[in-house]
């Protein structure tokens, strides 16, 4: 019997994950927690083989969640599943001690692969993240995989000023553009790069080793 704990504050997400787990071969016992505090309480009462953990839920939303889990059950396997962009967050959580990271919008089959891999003692990240990391550390990162490569020269100018923390009105003044034009550039940059705010833009630029001036 494999004991699995799902920690997520959305019932529909827990239900979907439970259905995926129950479709796997072997006997699975699934326990659910709606908050991180509830998950910790359950871990203090019984042992689990695997914890599937949302990293943005009541009671916890940072890397220290992994420390709290491992402190109580050092041998437990942890698979982080989150709506957060894996390109930005997967490596951080793996370094913090998680055994795998998968986005919530991944196909069911990828969840099955991830769960099986982690249960077998392997680390799991998606192929896209693996390719990015290999490229980063070998210096052979493909231009086609770099979202920043599609930015126009003007968009790069706006991005560089955004990453300095300048407000749109100041950027418009520096580049001699209308405020609405700068706002449009900002929207296009976020869409092309796949981020929702400047902090994520900076983190992604660092991941892809894009120099901002």
Q: How many domains does the chain have?
A: 2
Q: What pLDDT is stored for residue 131 in this prediction?
A: 75
DSSP string, 40-96: HHHHHHS--SEEEE-SSBTTB-STHHHHHHHHH-TT-EEEEEESS-HHHHHHHHHHT
Q: For residues 52 and 128, state if they share a domain.
A: yes
Mean pLDDT of 187-213: 83
In a 3-state reduction of DSSP, which class is residue 156?
helix
Provide the percentage of residues in the chain whose pLDDT is more than 70.
Answer: 92
Last residue of a domain, one of 109, 133, 157: 133
Domain limits for position 159 = 146-207
pLDDT band for position 138 (cuts 50, 70, 90) = low
pLDDT band for position 83 (cuts 50, 70, 90) = confident
Angle of CA points 189, 193, 82, to nearest 5°: 130
Q: What pLDDT is stored for residue 148 in this prediction?
A: 84
Q: Is the predicted pLDDT of residue 157 greater than 60, yes or no?
A: yes
Q: Is the predicted pLDDT of residue 144 greater than 70, yes or no?
A: no
Q: For residues 159 and 109, state if they share a domain.
A: no
Q: For residues 102 and 201, state if they share a domain.
A: no
Q: For residues 112 and 169, state if they share a domain.
A: no
Q: Hey, how many other C-beta atoms are within 10 angstroms of the C-beta on 93? A: 24
Q: What pLDDT is stored for residue 145 in this prediction?
A: 64
Q: What pLDDT is stored for residue 140 in this prediction?
A: 55
Q: For residues 75 and 167, state if they share a domain.
A: no
Q: Is 141 within the bounds of a domain?
A: no
Q: For residues 25 and 119, state if they share a domain.
A: yes
pLDDT band for position 137 (cuts 50, 70, 90) = low
Q: What pLDDT is stored for residue 101 in this prediction?
A: 94
Q: For residues 156 and 89, state if they share a domain.
A: no
Coarse DSSP helix, strand, coil percentages of the chain, rounded to the nearest 5 percent: 55, 15, 30
pTM greater than 0.85 (yes/no) = no
Q: Is 140 within the bounds of a domain?
A: no
Q: For residues 167 and 123, state if they share a domain.
A: no
Last residue of a domain, one of 85, 109, 133: 133
Q: For residues 15 and 75, state if they share a domain.
A: yes
Q: Is 44 within the bounds of a domain?
A: yes
Q: For residues 23 and 77, state if they share a domain.
A: yes
Mean pLDDT, the chain, rounded, equals 88
Q: For residues 100 and 172, state if they share a domain.
A: no
Mean pLDDT of 128-140: 68
Q: What pLDDT is stored for residue 139 in this prediction?
A: 58
Q: Is 22 within the bounds of a domain?
A: yes
Question: In this predicted model, what pLDDT tens digit does every residue of 8-60 receive, in sequence order?
Answer: 999 999 999 999 999 998 899 999 999 999 999 999 999 999 999 998 888 87
Question: In this predicted model, what pLDDT tens digit does every residue of 34-47 receive, in sequence order?
Answer: 999 999 999 999 99
């Amino acid at each position: 019997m494999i004991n699995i704990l799902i920690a997520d504050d959305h019932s529909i997400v827990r239900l979907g994950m439970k259905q995926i787990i129950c479709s796997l071969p072997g006997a699975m016992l699934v326990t659910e927690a709606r908050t991180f505090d509830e998950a910790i309480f359950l871990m203090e009462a019984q042992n689990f083989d695997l914890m599937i953990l949302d990293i943005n839920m009541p009671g916890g939303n940072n890397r220290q969640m992994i420390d709290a889990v491992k402190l109580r059950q050092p041998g437990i396997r942890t698979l982080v599943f989150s709506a957060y962009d894996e390109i930005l967050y997967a490596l951080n959580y793996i370094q913090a001690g998680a055994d795998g990271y998968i986005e919530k919008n991944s196909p069911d089959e990828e969840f099955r692969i991830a769960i099986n891999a982690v249960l077998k003692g392997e680390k799991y990240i998606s192929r896209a993240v693996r390719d990015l990391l290999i490229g980063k550390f070998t210096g052979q990162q493909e231009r086609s995989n770099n979202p920043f490569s599609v930015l126009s020269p003007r968009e790069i100018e706006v991005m560089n000023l955004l990453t300095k923390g300048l407000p749109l009105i100041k950027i418009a003044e520096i580049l001699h553009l209308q405020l609405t034009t700068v706002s449009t550039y900002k929207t296009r940059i976020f869409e092309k790069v796949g981020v929702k705010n400047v902090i994520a833009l900076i983190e992604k630029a660092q991941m892809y080793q894009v120099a901002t001036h």
